[in-house]
Every structure is written in structure tokens, then in C-alpha cells.
Amino acid sequence: MIVTIDGPAGSGKSTVARLLAERLQVHYLDTGAMYRAIALAVIRSGTDERDEAAVAAVAETAEVDFDGSDVLLNGRPVGEEIRDANVTAVASIVAANPGVRKRLVELQKAIGRRGDLVTEGRDQGTIVFPKAEYKFFITASPEARARRRHRELLARGTRLPLQTVERQLRQRDERDENRACAPMKAADDAILVDTTDMSIAEVVEEMAAIILSSETSGSQPADRKS
């Protein structure tokens, strides 16, 4: 069973995806961490992130993998370093690189062939797993997403004005939604979940209920099993 969860930054999809995977007892794949791992490899190698060919070459040689829980870069789990502001900004640029996307999409498809998965990103229901059994697109208002991101940053010791966090978030949305290659959008057959006024627990509960009820009744929200 493949469950895809796509949506913008700060929508709560990472936490929701992790908890839903635990609930369903399947692996959770954070594909954003894979783009962040490539960004880290680009930074470490001193490559200019805007040099398309050079960045694609880094993506080709960097060993990115998934061990069932963590994304690995050259055999080691990527740690908190991939959440740094600099890596976040570079990840958003390398994610628009067609060479990077081609390599990571292939890897994600291969991971999906290994077994059941809750996978989270921007293009999981549209490009990577168009035949996934369950597809969700999670949104929240930009203000709510900025407030959540602001709280997360504070918890990690980064103090930025809320307005700055909101501006950066809108810039990333703009880049993710308008890039030529695999722009972020909901699959036509995705179930939309607006989390603005919902708690994480409520979102997980709603999604788990949809999946578990159709698994027991043998039907699917959209008939994609055949």
C-alpha cells in the first residue's frame, strides 16, 4: 500500500505522515529530506547551486538512500544539519533542477517497490506514485503555516521575526508552485485536508479513518487498485 501526502511547507504534513505511518505500521519516507541531502552535498562540494549541470552531476554521484526510517547521504543518516536555513534555501533551488528531480524520482519509485509506504513531498501523488492507493493534499493558510514554522524555529533556537518567516515561506511556495519541472500541485484524485483549524491528532485520525475503513470494506476512495 502506498499513501502519498503532498502539500506546502508548514502544512504539518511531515508530522502527520510520520504519525500516520506509525499508526499503519509502515515505513515513512520524507522526500524533502532527499532534496535537502542533495543540497548538503552541493554545499559541501563548493558547487554553485545555480549551475544546473554541476548540480546535476553532484546529484548523480551523491549516494542517497533510505534505510527504512532515515534518509542516508553517502551511507550516513542525514541529521539536523539539513534543517539549517542555508540548506533549506539551497534545497528549494536544487529541487527545481531537472537532473536532480529525475534521479530522486527514480530512487523514490525504487523505494516504493520495496514495500508499503507513507511518502511525503510535493509530487508524490502526481509524478512519483500516480497509482498510489491513497492520496492526500494537506494545506493550511499561509499565516497558520508561518506561525507553526516560527514556533519550530524557536524550539530549535533560531529567532526570526514572524513576518520574515512568512515572507520566506511565501517565496518557497512561489518557487515550488511555479517551477517548470514538477510544480507542486494536488493530484486530481487527492483528498484535500485543510489543517488551519485542526490539531495534528485530528488530521491523523481523519486520514487513518479514511484508509482503515476502505481497507476493511475492500474499496478505495478512488478505484486505483486495478
> Per-residue x/- mask for ligand DC, residues 105 to 144, rule CB under 6 A?
----------------xxx---------------------
According to CB under 6 A, which residues from 17 to 46 bind ligand DC?
31-32, 35-36
- Please, which residue, 36 or 133, has the CB nearer to ligand DC? 36
Give min distance, CB of 7 to ligand DC, in A.
Answer: 9
Give the separation between CA 76 and CA 87, rounded to whole angstroms: 17
Q: Angle at CA 208, nearest 5°, toward 197 and 116?
A: 130
Please work out the total of residues on this chain that contact ligand DC, with binding judged by CB under 6 A.
Answer: 13
Phi, psi of 135 (to 5 degrees): -125, 130
Q: How far is the CB of 143 from ligand DC (least distance, A)?
A: 18
- Whole-number Å distance between alpha carbons of 60 and 38: 10
Kindly identify the residues of this chain, within the stretch 155-194, that bind ligand DC according to CB under 6 A: 172, 176
Nearer to ligand DC by C-beta: 96 or 219? Answer: 96
Nearest-approach distance from CB 71 to ligand DC, in angstroms: 10
- Strands 2-6 and 117-121, by their bridges, are parallel
Q: Of 34 and 198, which has the nearer Cβ to ligand DC?
A: 34
Supply 171's cell numbers: 517565496
DSSP string, 50-111: T-HHHHHHHHHHS-EEE-SSSEEETTEE--GGGGSHHHHHHHHHHTT-HHHHHHHHHHHHHH
Positions in the binding site for ligand DC (CB under 6 A)? 9, 31-32, 35-36, 91-92, 95, 121-123, 172, 176
